Amino acid sequence: MSPYYASLNKLIVDRGIDLNARAEGGWTAIHWAARNGAMTALKMLLKLGCDPNVTNDWADTPLHEAAAEGHLPAVKFLFEEGVKLNPVNSERKTPLGLAEEMDHSEVARFLRKNGGASGG
């Protein structure tokens, strides 16, 4: 974990920052971290209490975002953290369905191997 974790945690607690605050479209910090494969941010946000199963306005979870962008380390990390593996978004797609649609074969293979269901 980053050496700045304790300082960041103190700032968040002291200022009462809502880590699950939503931007336009219902996007949260953890959605952005997962979508961009930002592992340090993703790990820190979870450690600080972000909801790993939070959905945006399209019912996409951070796992949907990581899978759609092909970020295998983020997908593996979220899986290891016990996120819901088969949530369905507003287009009736699961994270595995998005990985398959976007031709992210390694991500699709990992999700399928671990119980992921195709959807979409």
User: For every residue of 48-67, which 3-state class applies, written as one string?
Assistant: CCCCCCCCCCCCCCHHHHHH
Q: Between the CA of residue 120 and those of 86, 87, 91, 99, 100, what are the distances in Å?
A: 12, 12, 7, 11, 10
Q: What percent of the chain has pLDDT over 70?
A: 90
Residue 2 has pLDDT above 70, yes or no: no
Question: What residue ranges define each of the domains in the chain, with the CATH number in brackets?
Answer: 5-113 (1.25.40.20)
Confidence of residue 18 (pLDDT cuts 50, 70, 90): confident
For residues 67 and 75, is the Cβ–Cβ distance under 8 A? yes
Average pLDDT, the chain: 91
- Express each pLDDT in 42-62 by its tens digit: 998 998 889 999 999 999 999
pLDDT at 4 over 70: no
Q: Is the pLDDT assigned to residue 19 strictly greater than 90?
A: no
pLDDT at residue 1, rounded to an integer: 52
Q: Please choose, from the candidates 90, 86, 64, the residue with its C-alpha nearest in 3D space to the C-alpha of residue 75.
A: 64
Residue 8's pLDDT is 67
Evaluate whether 78 touches 41 at the Cβ level (below 8 Å).
Answer: no
Q: Is the pTM of this model over 0.85?
A: yes
